[in-house]
Amino acid sequence: MFTPAASGIHKWFVYLMQGLGLAVLMSGLANWQVTDPIRWGFLLLVALIASGVKVNLPQIPGALTINFVFVLMGLLEFSLAESLTLGALTNAVNVWVHRDAQKLPAPRTFPVAANIVATALAWHVYHAPWLAREGQGILIAITLASTTLFALNTLPLAIVVGLAQRTSVARIWSECNFKVFPLYLAGGLIAALFHFSGNAVGAQSILLLLPIAFIIYCSYHAYTGRIGEQKKHVEQMASLHERTIEALAMAIEAKDMTPHTHVKRLYLYCVEIGKELALPENEMEALKAAAVMHDIGKLAVPEHILSKPGKLTREEFEKVKIHPTVGAEILERVNFPYPVARIVRYHHEKWNGGGYPHGLKGQEIPIGARILAAVDCLDALISDRPYRTALPLEVALNRLLAESGASFDPTVIRLIRSKYAELEERLARQESEPARPPYERDVAAEMVFSERGPAPPLSLPTVKPAFLDKIAAARQEAQVLLELTQELGKSLHLDETLSMISTGMRRIVQFDSIVIYIVEDNMLRPRYASGECTSLFLSRQIPIGQGIAGWVSAHGKPVLNGNPSLEAGSAPGSTRAPILNSAVAVPLIGLQGGPCGVLMACRRNLDAFTKDDLRILLAVSAKLGSVAENALRYEQATASASTDFLTGLPNARALQLQLDAELARCRRLGGSLTVLVTDLDGFKEVNDRFGHMEGNTVLRAVGKALRESCREYDFVARMGGDEFVILLPGLEQSDVLLKVTQLNQAVRDASKSAIADCLVSLSVGQARYPNDGDDPERLLSEADQRMYQVKTNRKLRKAGQRGFDFDVAETTSSQPITFQG
């Protein structure tokens, strides 16, 4: 049965060897004869028993069966047919007994077929007519036969593994099998010893040597057992170190908020490019470790710099530049047997010498560092970072190509360009596969007798472990709280501050709705709300002591997983199903130590908030309370500076700011603006007759009437005394007279409602942008002059009317006297 790695020429080679083995076996058995049945049968029996026994050899990977010794004995003693039968049966038993340990990417019949071919050729070598098989000549013959048996037993296995793994057959054969060669030579000498003893003693020589072989086997087995235990301990410690490195790398990855595939991509790319460049084994091992551990030096860089969303300052970048050196110093203490620290130290050097920390260039930079630098840059470009979003892969590759020969080794960039599609496909395939235990090997791709194979894939799990999420959450919490603390004091505008708090909190506490109340006149007034039920929250003021927020404000203590239905507007017994079912509320403590507000977050689910959520909200509220109180005081101070204390209307300062803004809007959008300057006629008589207190009452009534008679976006301000200014954006010229009439009537009614015997009216002067001016001073001056002109004309008319009345009162003439103004 083939593994998924098997394909193409690999399969054809397997079929060829199986066919060749079958043909050789059939050809040999065609001339079957047994010259000494008892001796051959006894040898076969012993060989079959020995096929089930494995000997663990120090310094040789895997285990070795000793059936090849009996095959060599058969070559010396028996015919080709007997030797082939002996070899085929013993190998078949070996494959069957040790089937659970099979790691060959080929069917189980493959090693049997290879052994048949090897046995046949070794028999022909030993029985070659040009070889002497007497005296010392037999040693030469058995040595050549042993060499042939070794080569043809091991080489096909190395070929099939090399084809399956697409790697060097010579390397696999030399690394995994060459150490076995002396054992084959020793087996040949044992076979020769049995041959000579058989000639001298007869068939009984086998019986005489069995006890000796058993004693040797037991002694050697005990020795190799101790060696094996030591080797197992060393392997366990090495595996422990590797897993420790990986766990630390995952923790650094989580702390640095890098994507989960970051280390996997670096490992895969670095290993494959290293293979393409035929790096020595120690360089490859160093590159693998550096790909995992290259960012360990970031532990020395402050988190607010690593996660800064904008461009780093020169000082911040200098701090970042220490991480390769710090990482190398940390790894030097591990004392790796290969140059990991050297790669980490120089992986930010540039091909043109413009990198750091030492400004190396070209071939001065270690090859592992050059590979890691290019791959690290590619991964950074295609991953989301705090300072920018991920780039498409093709765009990132183009940027990498643009830096070829400047920042990066052109050979490395060329290899990345040629292999990136295949590597990204493999990475995606790894991500889609189920997670495997750490350092689980792909055993199907390894040799039958070898535990050594290609480098195992990086064992970072496909699904990110929960502890990584906890590390990332803790880091994000610290970062958000730091940002909120820094931002809270920057703005004195309460609405802006509360909006910023809501946005930041959403990154570390899950909620469907958030509302922030401010204490005003023994009530909680909703000042900011976001999310579900926003309109309901903003429409309700809560008395201190009622509901969740009222209770929190009254007692100064938090509430976890309360029922927010009352604050959301659903009274008890309401048929309306509540949208929000759990709430966490914390008091905002003011500068005087008492609650000045309440922060409440809500969710749809029941008991949705945890004690961690409460802890985070308390940490924020401790700072937010004083900030909110300062912002409220600032608002009050700002309002008093721009509001007329008597009427509550904007004052002259606010008028100036609003007029500037309206004119800027008109210039930008091409609109019109009408400015009305008004004065109360008859107000002096009110003060003289009723007193200034009553006069203030009239002013308040007039100000309210003017405000209510205007549109929502019109602006009414008190200039001072009994003068008011009205800004009417977009009002047509033909509608101005009607508007003045409405305002005059509203003022008359308001004054009469304030004082029954009082009757005041308006003198109004108007100016229009852009016809009468294009700056505030010009428009106000023009409208003021026209207002006084109207006032003067009215006084003249009144004076003329008084003269007419006097004349009428003083004369007895029945003819009316016409007053000529």
CATH number of the domain within which 351 lies = 1.10.3210.10
195 and 67 in a common domain: yes
Structure tokens at 213: 């072989």
For residue 119, the model assigns a pLDDT of 84
The predicted structure's pLDDT at residue 587: 92
pLDDT, residue 447, reads: 31
How far is residue 773's CA from residue 673's CA, in Å, rounded to a whole number? Answer: 10
pLDDT at res. 135: 62
Query: Do 661 and 798 belong together in one domain?
Result: yes
Cis peptide before 410 (omega within 30 of 0): no
Residue-level pLDDT at 72: 80
Q: Tell me, yes or no, whether 380 lies in a domain.
A: yes
- Annotate 267-307 with DSSP letters as a single string: HHHHHHHHHHTT--HHHHHHHHHHHHHTTGGGGGS-HHHHT
Residue 372 in domain: yes
In a domain, 438, yes or no: no
One domain, residues 114 and 138: yes
Predicted TM-score (pTM) of the model is 0.44
Residue 650, beta-bridge partner list? 643
Shared-domain flag, residues 552 and 679: no
CATH classification of the domain holding 796: 3.30.70.270
Strands 523-531 and 513-520: antiparallel
Token representation of residue 348: 């930010």
Is residue 561 within 8 Å of residue 577, measured between CB atoms?
A: no
From 137, 170, 205, the end of a domain falls on 205
Domain count, the chain: 4
The residue from 188, 205, 222 where one domain ends is: 205
pLDDT given at position 201: 58
Contacts of 677 (CB under 8 A, 6+ apart): 719, 723, 724, 725, 764, 765, 766, 767, 780, 783, 784, 786, 787
Say whether both 776 and 800 belong to one domain: yes
The answer on 184 and 57 residing in a single domain is: yes
Decide which of 183, 205, 227 is a domain's last residue: 205
| 471 assigned to some structural domain | no
**Which helix (H) or strand (E) segment is 141 a member of?**
helix 137-165
In terms of domains, do 617 and 665 share one?
A: no
The per-residue pLDDT for 125 is 86
Torsion angle (degrees, nearest 10) of CA 87, 93, 95, 97: -150
Q: What is the pLDDT of residue 218?
A: 66
Which residue range(s) make up the domain with 731? 652-808
Q: Is residue 39 part of a domain?
A: yes
DSSP-derived secondary structure for 417-468: HHHHHHHHHHHHHHHHSPP--TT---GGGS-TT-S--SPPPP---SSPPHHH
Both structure tokens of 767: 């100016």
What is the tens place of the pLDDT at every residue in 757-778?
A: 777 888 999 999 989 988 899 9
Residue 68 within any structural domain of the chain: yes
Query: In terms of C-beta density within 10 A (0-12 exposed, 13-18 middle, 19 or more buried), how is residue 130 classed?
Result: exposed
- 398 and 360 fall within a common domain: yes
Give the residue among 156, 169, 84, 91 at the shortest CA–CA distance from 123.
84
Position 470 in a domain? no
Residue 397 CA to residue 381 CA, distance in Å, equals 9
Q: Provide the token pair at 115.
A: 């052994």
**Considering the domain boundaries, does residue 451 fall inside one?**
no
Provide the pLDDT for residue 203: 54
Cis peptide before 437 (omega within 30 of 0): no
Does 635 share its domain with 656?
no
3-state secondary structure of 764: strand
629 and 593, same structural domain?
yes
CA atoms of 650 and 653, how far apart (whole Å): 8
DSSP per-residue string spanning 518-546: EEETTEEEEEEEEETTHHHHHH--EETTS
Mark 43-73 as b/e (b = at least 16 C-beta within 10 Å): bbebbbebbeebebbeebbbbebbbbbbbbb
* Residue stretches of the chain with pLDDT short of 70: 1-8, 50-66, 97-105, 132-136, 175-179, 197-228, 231, 234-235, 238-243, 245-261, 304, 386-387, 431-493, 566-578, 635-639, 799-821
